[in-house]
Amino acid sequence: MIDYREKYRPQFHFSPPSKWMNDPNGMVYFDGEYHLFYQHHPDGTTWGPMHWGHAISKDLIHWEHRGIALKPDRNGVIFSGSAVVDRDDTSGLFSGKPGLVAIFTHADNDPETNRSRQRQSLAYSLDKGRTWTMYEGNPVLCNEQIPDFRDPKVFWHEAKQRWVMVLAAGDRVQFYASANLKEWSFESEFGAAEGSHDGVWECPDLIELPVDDRVDRTKWVLIVSIGDHPQFKEGSRTQYFVGDFDGSAFVNDAAPDTILWLDHGRDNYAGVTWSDVHGEDNGKLFIGWMSNWKYANLTPTVSWRSAMTLPRVLRLKSGSSGIRLTQMPVSELSRLRGQTQSWSETAIRPGGNMLEDASGDRFEIECEIDMGAAREVGLKLRKSEREETVVCYDAAEGTLSVDRRNSGEHDFHEAFACKHGASCVLDGGRLKLRLFVDNSSIEVFANGGEVVLTNLIFPDLSSTGLELYAIGGDAKLVSLTLHPLNSIYSAVGV
């Protein structure tokens, strides 16, 4: 029996029914269904021999758990990867019909040398993802000289009419091309001297997005996660590059030493986008693993471990410093809203708290604040006498921060209790926030998703207080709405 009531169990985020989960894998949309696979250790609540767990959704919010899709076989355990719709049966696996192909990393040790190796393999499904067969020609892409050679993300390149794979290869990514998903040829590589190298490169993605929602202008975004390194307190993080891709090679728009972070919080890792989404959201739907390798194996949950971020829509926005990625949660989430409360046009005075009579354990807040004469303005969430998680804006520094030092349980790892932030430029002196709080997370989207902070928190169930505060002078609340969010498990009685 799945324990949806367990303390810290997210009520509107995806989490595995039981045991360990890490990266999202194989995300693909096919025949009205969103598929989400994930790195899964079904026999433990810490990382172990990897399988792909599987769930299906029609709205990206409510998920039907489908158990294990891929399990270790003679080629090794199943690391991260992607899935595509092979619409024209280029692989010849589907008797001329469309079908699903998963492309992932098989990890094992070479029986002769005992050296660890990572090789790319295929599995396919003839029944809309319900069951999977390993391709008998596995593995399909090997390079045993490179020990970290993994996490293939495959997509159909329209202009060149062929498949492209982007793969993490140590301190860089490599691009391969194929006509049939089975035979791959090396095209180029990128990144050995670009961006952040604070950890090994993992889980790349490459997507083409409209700039400023214009139909006539696109750019390519290369997303690269970088692993934890003991030297860096931030742990594992995700960066991105904006540039051009001609089907063979990626060219970065920015100087090689520019580093762009996808999320300024600590808990959004290994995220990639859904494949084969049609219409307006094509290439834009993203989900990440809401944890950090620094402490992922130690978080204080019991029967399961880890959740995904909210599914998000990616966009590109041009500004004075270049073209940047923005992210906002998918609109389907608004269906979970309960009885909304609103506040508006009021002064936020030092010492006051207009949210004193409000409370919430899982909710969404939308607010717009004019900083006025305040030095700092903030929201305290999941608050009690002993606990609070603080989202605050420092006017002098121009930074938006999350402070989880007193957010709840934190002694499972010394790096967890921290305050961290990012520069956030206000539009006309106004801070616009949208934030989502669940039983063990807080996601902050500022200025329409230009600055995002995703963080785990482990507050007590009784910490439900709210506070809106100002320091150093009056600020003005333009508007604030508080939406309690219903549990996605309400149909099963939570």
Q: Which of 29, 79, 286, 458 binds ligand FRU (CB under 6 A)?
A: 79
Q: Nearer Cβ to ligand FRU, position 24 or 465?
A: 24
Contact between 57 and ligand FRU by CB under 6 A: the answer reads no
Sign of CA dihedral 79, 85, 90, 93: positive
Contact between 151 and ligand FRU by CB under 6 A: the answer reads yes
Shortest spacing between CB 151 and ligand FRU, in angstroms: 5
The single residue of 23, 151, 267, 361 carrying the catalytic annotation is 23
What is the token pair recorded at 176? 């391969």
Contact between 270 and ligand FRU by CB under 6 A: the answer reads yes
* CB within 8 Å of 461: residues ≥ 6 apart: 7, 361, 439
Q: Nearer Cβ to ligand FRU, position 203 or 377?
A: 203
Q: Which of 27, 50, 93, 165 binds ligand FRU (CB under 6 A)?
A: 50
Shortest spacing between CB 57 and ligand FRU, in angstroms: 22
**Closest among 87, 27, 89, 74 to 52, alpha carbons compared:** 27
Contact between 105 and ligand FRU by CB under 6 A: the answer reads yes
Question: What is the four-CA torsion angle of 28, 34, 38, 41, rounded to 10 degrees?
Answer: -130
* Residues 200-219: x where in contact with ligand FRU by CB under 6 A, - otherwise, as a string: --xx----------------
For residue 150, which phi and psi values (nearest 5 degrees)? -160, 180
Q: Nearer Cβ to ligand FRU, position 22 or 463?
A: 22
**Closest among 361, 391, 406, 416 to 9, alpha carbons compared:** 361
Q: Nearer Cβ to ligand FRU, position 309 or 407?
A: 309
| Per rule CB under 6 A, count of chain residues that contact ligand FRU | 12
Contact between 228 and ligand FRU by CB under 6 A: the answer reads no
Contact between 434 and ligand FRU by CB under 6 A: the answer reads no
Contact between 150 and ligand FRU by CB under 6 A: the answer reads yes
Q: Nearer Cβ to ligand FRU, position 39 or 464?
A: 39
Shortest spacing between CB 327 and ligand FRU, in angstroms: 19
Shortest spacing between CB 337 and ligand FRU, in angstroms: 32
3-state secondary structure of 262: coil
108: annotated active-site residue: no
Task: Please state the three-class secondary structure of 480-492 as a single string.
Answer: EEEEEECCCCHHH
Shortest spacing between CB 48 and ligand FRU, in angstroms: 9
Q: Nearer Cβ to ligand FRU, position 50 or 456?
A: 50
**Closest among 20, 5, 25 to 105, alpha carbons compared:** 25
392-408 as b/e, with b when 16 or more CB fall inside 10 Å?
Answer: bbbbeeebbbbbbebbb
Which residues share a beta bridge with 313? 285, 328
In a 13 Å sphere around the CA of 229, the CA atoms on its Cβ side amount to 11
Shortest spacing between CB 23 and ligand FRU, in angstroms: 5
Q: Nearer Cβ to ligand FRU, position 203 or 453?
A: 203
Q: Nearer Cβ to ligand FRU, position 91 or 291?
A: 291
Shortest spacing between CB 307 and ligand FRU, in angstroms: 15
Sheet order of strands, 64-70 included: 64-70, 51-57, 33-41, 19-30, 304-305
Inter-residue contact 193 to 184 (CB < 8 Å)? no
How many angstroms separate the CA atoms of 294 and 210, rounded?
A: 35
**Closest among 26, 28, 30, 56 to 39, alpha carbons compared:** 26
Shortest spacing between CB 458 and ligand FRU, in angstroms: 21
**Closest among 42, 51, 52 to 17, alpha carbons compared:** 42
Looking only at residues 18 through 47 of this chain, which bind ligand FRU when binding is defined by CB under 6 A? Answer: 22-23, 39
Q: What residues make contact with ligand FRU under the rule CB under 6 A?
A: 22-23, 39, 50, 79-80, 105, 150-151, 202-203, 270
Just list the catalytic residues: 23
